[in-house]
Amino acid sequence: MAPPATIRWWAIVLALIFSLLITPSIAIYCDEDDCYDILGVSQNANASEIKKAYYKLSLKYHPDKNPDPDSRKFFVKIANAYEILKDEATREQYDYAIAHPEEVFYNTARYYHAYYGHKTDPRAVLVGLLLVLSAFQYLNQWTRYNQAIDMVKKTPAYKNRLRALELERGGGVANKKKGYKQMDRKTHEDLSKELDLQITGAEKPSVWELVGVRLVLLPYTVGKLLLWSSCWFWRYKVKRAPYSWEDATYLTQRALRVPLNAWISIDESTKEDLVQRRLWEKSNYESYLAEIRKESKRRR
């Protein structure tokens, strides 16, 4: 009677783990052989003795000088053993694996990290990663911007603005039979460049917004922020000076949690009224919210 599938799978997993645990970790270096025995030196041999032993054996077993078919395989083993023992770091790892064969996973991890880990300077990797990310970010921003522009150009409002600009450039005289689709392509492109299209959420890409540029300018940005914070604290916390118009505007915008592009679109009279209310003060802000709610109920 065949065992259940679950038992068979567990048996396979346990067999794999058991085979891994009973295999000495030093086998990953020179297979089942000892690297020192391959070169014919003791574990206490110095670098010079290891080098001499390698050259002696390589001359003896080099395929060009030794016609024995097995010489090629042994020559590969000699070269591999020398690569491990000539480097102080890998030799130290190998000696540790010999002294602690029970630490299979640790020794295996150190071996693969030493031989297959990246040798590149981490700073170069970081710079390359930032360049790649910045390039993708810049291309993505241009793609979003161009897609938004194409969508806007299909709207009637844009076509009307373009037609009005054409009339303005023509001195108020234009052929009424000439529609938007019949407009000269060169004229269309020239007039399109004059229309400043500001699309929220898809602004024109800028190199100053790239993650790489921002990271490079981070020390300058942090220094500027600290200087601004220090000046703010000294002027308004220590000297108790009245807020300037710019700073009061900033506090009002922050209190209302209004995005900068939305704040800019507010007319100046409304801005002035909001700033004069001193909404950054909690009591004034709560009174303003109460007025808004009351006005909203009245309109209902």
- 98-116 pLDDT, tens digit per residue, is 888 888 778 887 777 776 6
C-alpha to C-alpha distance for 32 and 56, rounded to whole angstroms: 23
For residue 227, what pLDDT is reported?
A: 95
C-alpha to C-alpha distance for 53 and 49, rounded to whole angstroms: 6
Q: Look at residue 6 and tell me if it is in a domain.
A: no
CB–CB of 61/126 below 8 Å? Answer: no
Comparison of pLDDT for 22 and 134, the residue scoring more: 134
C-alpha to C-alpha distance for 29 and 300, rounded to whole angstroms: 82
Q: Look at residue 14 and tell me if it is in a domain.
A: no
Same domain, 265 and 201: no
CATH of the domain at 99: 1.10.287.110
Q: Look at residue 4 and tell me if it is in a domain.
A: no
Please say which residue of 116, 139, 157 terminates a domain.
116
Amino acid at the residue 34: D
Comparison of pLDDT for 53 and 70, the residue scoring more: 53
CB–CB of 204/145 below 8 Å? Answer: yes
For residue 128, what pLDDT is reported?
A: 87
Structure tokens at 168: 């303005």
Structure tokens at 244: 């300037």
For residue 192, what pLDDT is reported?
A: 58
Residues 6 or more apart from 51 whose CB is under 8 A from it?
82, 86
How many domains are contained in the chain? Answer: 3
pLDDT of residue 3 exceeding 60, the answer is: no
**Closest C-alpha among 134, 129, 133, 92 to residue 114:** 92
pLDDT of residue 95 exceeding 70, the answer is: yes
Q: Look at residue 101 and tell me if it is in a domain.
A: yes
CB–CB of 93/80 below 8 Å? Answer: no
**Closest C-alpha among 283, 137, 276 to residue 215:** 137
For residue 198, what pLDDT is reported?
A: 56
Mean of the per-residue pLDDT values of the chain:
79
For residue 10, what pLDDT is reported?
A: 52
- 8-66 pLDDT, tens digit per residue, is 455 445 444 444 444 455 567 887 788 899 999 999 999 999 999 999 988 888 888 88
Same domain, 239 and 201: no
CB–CB of 249/276 below 8 Å? Answer: no
For 254, the domain range is 214-299
Same domain, 246 and 284: yes
For residue 202, what pLDDT is reported?
A: 59
C-alpha to C-alpha distance for 139 and 149, rounded to whole angstroms: 15
Radius of gyration of the CA atoms of the chain, in A: 38
C-alpha to C-alpha distance for 43 and 34, rounded to whole angstroms: 10
CB–CB of 60/38 below 8 Å? Answer: no
What single DSSP character describes residue 233?
Answer: I
User: What is the percent of the chain with per-residue pLDDT over 90, rounded to a whole number?
Assistant: 25
Same domain, 294 and 226: yes
pLDDT of residue 185 exceeding 70, the answer is: no
Comparison of pLDDT for 92 and 165, the residue scoring more: 92
Q: Look at residue 218 and tell me if it is in a domain.
A: yes
Comparison of pLDDT for 9 and 297, the residue scoring more: 297
First to last CA, the chain: 80
**Closest C-alpha among 24, 43, 23 to residue 84:** 43
What's the mean pLDDT in 201-207?
73
Same domain, 78 and 40: yes
What's the mean pLDDT in 209-218?
88
- 142-170 pLDDT, tens digit per residue, is 898 888 878 877 778 777 777 776 777 66
Does the pTM surpass 0.85? The reply is: no
Mapped onto helix, strand or coil, the DSSP state of residue 246 is helix
Half-sphere exposure of 179 (CA within 13 A, CB side): 2
